[in-house]
Amino acid sequence: MPTLQLPGVGSGLDVNSLVQQLVAVERAPVAQRIARKETRIDMQLSALGTLKGALSGLQGTLTALRTETAFQVRKAASSNEEIFTAAPGAGAAPGTYDVEVVRLASAHKLASAAFAEGSGAAVGTGTLSIAVGSGSFDVAIDTDHQTLAGIRDAINSAPDNAGVRATIISTTAGSRLVLTATATGAAHALRVTQSGGDGGLAQLVYDPPSGSALTELEPANDALVRVEGFDCTSASNAVSGVIEGVTLNLKTAAPGTTLTLTVSDDTAQARDRVRKFVADFNSLSGTIANLRRYDPANREAGPLLGDSMLSGIEARLRSLVGGAVTGRTGPYQTLASVGITTQRDGSLSLDEAKLTAALENGFDAVGALFGSDGGVATRVYDYLGSVLGTGAQIETRVGSLQQGKKTIATEKSDLDSRMERVQARYRAQFGALDTLLAGMQSTASYLSQQLARLPKS
């Protein structure tokens, strides 16, 4: 008698594998849709970050061109830089000046008598009162700090030190305490008095005309410089305010020697700034072109292809750099008039020779073209500020995309929860099926055994 058999795997059913495969099949289309959406958002966020960086870079470059004062950079040359140099700033006007450095500013410096015992020599106890100009502070000297080294350290570490530095100079005759004002000028002259203690600190007094034990090594002098025959003083050797917009840096006194300071337009620096503007504008133009690109051969599109915001920014920038500056007269009313022309792809081309000639023939006029009210650099800078500002279109778009990322995170979590429920349902169903198959298999085995006992015909 043939044995009865049930097709299939019976109670040996691989439930885990079947459940995993079915859940994966059900998850796949939803997960792929979410992944495509997330990839698209990530690409757009990255693209907007790239665009924002390029726009910010151009705006930063325009800072040096957006006002006439910023554009009109000057250079200053001294006829003898060993005696003085000069640094022009905002407001410096071209011109030539006679300069005589009569005296340098100096910091007040005092020295004690020599102590043969060296820095460990005991001086005395009490209180040193040190005045630096209109400020002063007290230093208490006890027996633990009565040596030259202890007094030096006590002065330097005083929390209310008003501007004096103490050092020790060791010579063949002994060690000397040297006090030096930290700032130059007559307003920072030193005065040292003492009180209390054993009286030994009298060796460190400097209180003219009452009496002084310290020796003056360097007086507290203001710098004296003579410009166009007029005397001018300064507490430091960086003299500003004498020639508008120019700081004189005094190096060496040369009384009786008249030198020449020449302040002129720095056409080279201005040209470099214009070059950078052109380069950064072209970099931005290239970035925009890449973001909206389309490659028909590979059917690949840029992340912002067809984006109206990007198209609007590009069109507005072209209009701003290509248009004339209203209210201007003379030969320099457009960028083209100084050698900057717009190409068919939106980039800028620079004619170096034409720009150089314009700067040499009308430096301030070129500055006005860029930096006057309504000038090219001014209006582009202001427009970029409106594009990059808080609540502007780019920021709003980024916020919307970031909200989309949060929504995707929620969708992923919801999908996971739903798949857990689906998995539990499949496990229950296949578990029941497995139990049923196992039971059927058992019944089939029983019937086979009973049939085997029947007599053979």
Helix (H) or strand (E) segment spanning residue 56: helix 15-62
Residues 311 and 456 both lie in one domain: yes
Residue 344 and residue 434 in one domain: yes
Residues 6+ apart with CB under 8 A from 165: 156, 179, 180, 181, 182
**Do residues 167 and 232 both lie within one domain?**
no
Say yes or no: 85 and 228 in one domain: yes
Which residues have CB under 8 Å from 120's CB, separation 6+? 147, 148, 149
- Co-location of 83 and 68 in the same domain: no
8 with 129, same domain? no
Same domain, 171 and 230: no
| 422 and 322, same domain (yes or no) | yes
**180: phi then psi, degrees, rounded to nearest 5:** -130, 130
> Does the pLDDT of residue 7 top 50, yes or no?
no
- Rounded Cα distance, 10 and 284, in Å: 69
Other C-beta atoms within 10 Å of 143: how many? 12
Assess whether 50 and 113 both reside in one domain: no
Domain end among 218, 233, 250: 218
Total number of domains in the chain: 3
Confidence of residue 457 (pLDDT cuts 50, 70, 90): low
- pLDDT tens for 410-440 read 988 998 898 889 888 888 887 777 677 777 7
The string of pLDDT tens digits covering residues 91-117 is 888 999 999 999 999 999 999 999 999
* Same domain as 427, residue 305: yes
Is residue 13 very low, low, confident or very high in pLDDT (cuts 50, 70, 90)?
Answer: low
pLDDT tens digits, one per residue of 210-221: 889 999 999 999
Instruction: Indicate the pTM of the whole model.
Output: 0.71
Do residues 56 and 129 both lie within one domain?
no
Average pLDDT along the chain: 91
Local confidence band at 253 (pLDDT 50, 70, 90 cut-offs): very high
User: Which residues are bridge partners to 216 per DSSP?
Assistant: 110
Going across the sheet that includes 95-103, the strands are 74-78, 259-265, 95-103, 223-227, 230-234
Please check whether residues 275 and 331 belong to one and the same domain.
Answer: yes
Tens-digit pLDDT profile for residues 120-144: 999 999 999 999 999 999 999 999 9
Residue found by looking up tokens 């808080």 in the block: 390
Identify the domain boundary among 183, 201, 218: 218
Answer yes or no: is pLDDT of 231 > 90: yes
pLDDT value for 12:
61
Please count the residues of the chain: 457
Q: Rounded mean pLDDT of 16-20?
A: 82
| The pLDDT value given to residue 170 | 94
**pLDDT tens, 47-88?**
999 999 999 999 999 999 999 988 989 999 999 999 999 999
Domain of residue 315 covers 1-73+266-457
pLDDT of amino acid 9: 46
Q: Which of 195, 218, 241 marks a domain boundary?
A: 218
Residue with tokens 């590979």: 298
Distance CA 419, CA 26 (A): 8
- 317-345 tens-digit pLDDT: 999 999 999 877 789 999 999 999 999 98
